[in-house]
Amino acid sequence: MAPPAWIADNIPTLLRPLLLMAIATYHFIMTILEIIFVERQPAKLFDITGLRFKAFARLWTYNGEAMSVEMPGPFDELVSKCQGVVLDIGPGSGELLKRFNAQHISAMYGAEPATPLHPKLIKNAEKAGFGGKYHALICGGEPESLIPALYKSGILGQSGTGGTAESGVFDEICCLRVLCGVPHPQQTIKGLYALLKPGGRMVICEHVVNPWRTEGSMLGRLVQFLYTIIGWPFLMGGCELQRHTPEFLREAGEWEKFDLEYVGPKEAVPFVVGELIKKA
């Protein structure tokens, strides 16, 4: 490919995350100003983790809808087939709920730790036709947070940590743009695998480390590294660009079907999208 064509093809996608970082910086500054001048609780600024998550929730509240207009690969087809009792990890403000078919879902549990996103999440669940079938839980996807919250909601008969308190509870588990930010992802994914019924389905739409050794690109991989060192995880609520999520998923347990495809593998934010079926 001639250099100008190569630049036109590659540079915009590689630079797009910079725009998002600029928007995130704006929301970070606005969050600080709100804490000082609106909430008048400057001591909160010393809780750096709390501040980062609050700023990310602000970013998602203002931009989540726009960032959910175009979803990668066969996303719509995969989520529209969800049925039975479903667990959605990190649903955010529920911008994707309208893409599910609420009639096929008997109960949906959304594990969303950011409380500022819950009012919009509940509103979007109602708009998408879930009514009383939607249960918004204030917890993360990691077992130590998720298991007690599921127990409290009544779907688990036993509580405990480690995700093994009770196995095979959900027909389907959705991980949509969330595994990049969960703490200790390997253990978290294993916990989710345990909660899936034998023969149950996991729907995946996650951005991951650039597969530069196979179908990705070295430049995309390098740019991921650069964005990480200039502050992507700090500004984006702990989101990591370089996660080996496909490997973590494969190693979580035995799968009858493991069907993930890369979307935009040469980009700085390549996705894997697909479905996994737990061995019956």
Ligand X SMILES: C[S@@+](CC[C@H](N)C(=O)[O-])C[C@H]1O[C@@H](n2cnc3c(N)ncnc32)[C@H](O)[C@@H]1O
Contact letters (x/-) for ligand X, 231-260, by CB under 6 A? Answer: ------x-----------------------
Q: Which two tokens stand for residue 114?
A: 């950011």
Indicate which single residue of 68, 124, 224, 245 sits in contact with ligand X (rule: CB under 6 A). Answer: 68
Q: What letter represents residue 211's amino acid?
A: P
Q: At its nearest, how many Å lie between ligand X and the CB of residue 237?
A: 6
Question: 184 or 279: whose CB is closer to ligand X?
Answer: 184
Count of other CB atoms within 10 angstroms of residue 119: 12
Ranges of beta strands (E only) in 51-195 are 84-89, 105-111, 134-137, 170-176
Q: Which two tokens stand for residue 190?
A: 């294993």
Question: 120 or 222: whose CB is closer to ligand X?
Answer: 120
**Is residue 181 a contact point for ligand X (CB under 6 A)?**
yes
In the region spanning residues 72 to 111, those forming contacts with ligand X, defined by CB under 6 A, are: 89-92, 95-96, 111
Distance CA 75, CA 120 (A): 22
Indicate which single residue of 79, 87, 108, 114 sits in contact with ligand X (rule: CB under 6 A). Answer: 114
What angle in degrees, to the nearest 10, is found between the helix axes of 143-153 and 185-195?
30
**Is residue 182 a contact point for ligand X (CB under 6 A)?**
yes
Beta bridge partners of 244: none
In the region spanning residues 14 to 53, those forming contacts with ligand X, defined by CB under 6 A, are: none
**Is residue 113 a contact point for ligand X (CB under 6 A)?**
yes
Question: 85 or 89: whose CB is closer to ligand X?
Answer: 89
Q: Which two tokens stand for residue 71?
A: 């979803």
DSSP element (H, E) containing 189: helix 185-195
**Is residue 176 a contact point for ligand X (CB under 6 A)?**
yes
Q: Collapsing DSSP states into helix, strand and coil, what is residue 209? A: coil
Q: Which range touches ligand X (CB under 6 A), out of 40-48, 74-82, 100-108, 177-185?
A: 177-185
Distance CA 51, CA 47 (A): 6
Give the residues lining the site for ligand X (CB under 6 A).
Answer: 60, 64, 68, 89-92, 95-96, 111-114, 117, 140-142, 176-178, 181-183, 237
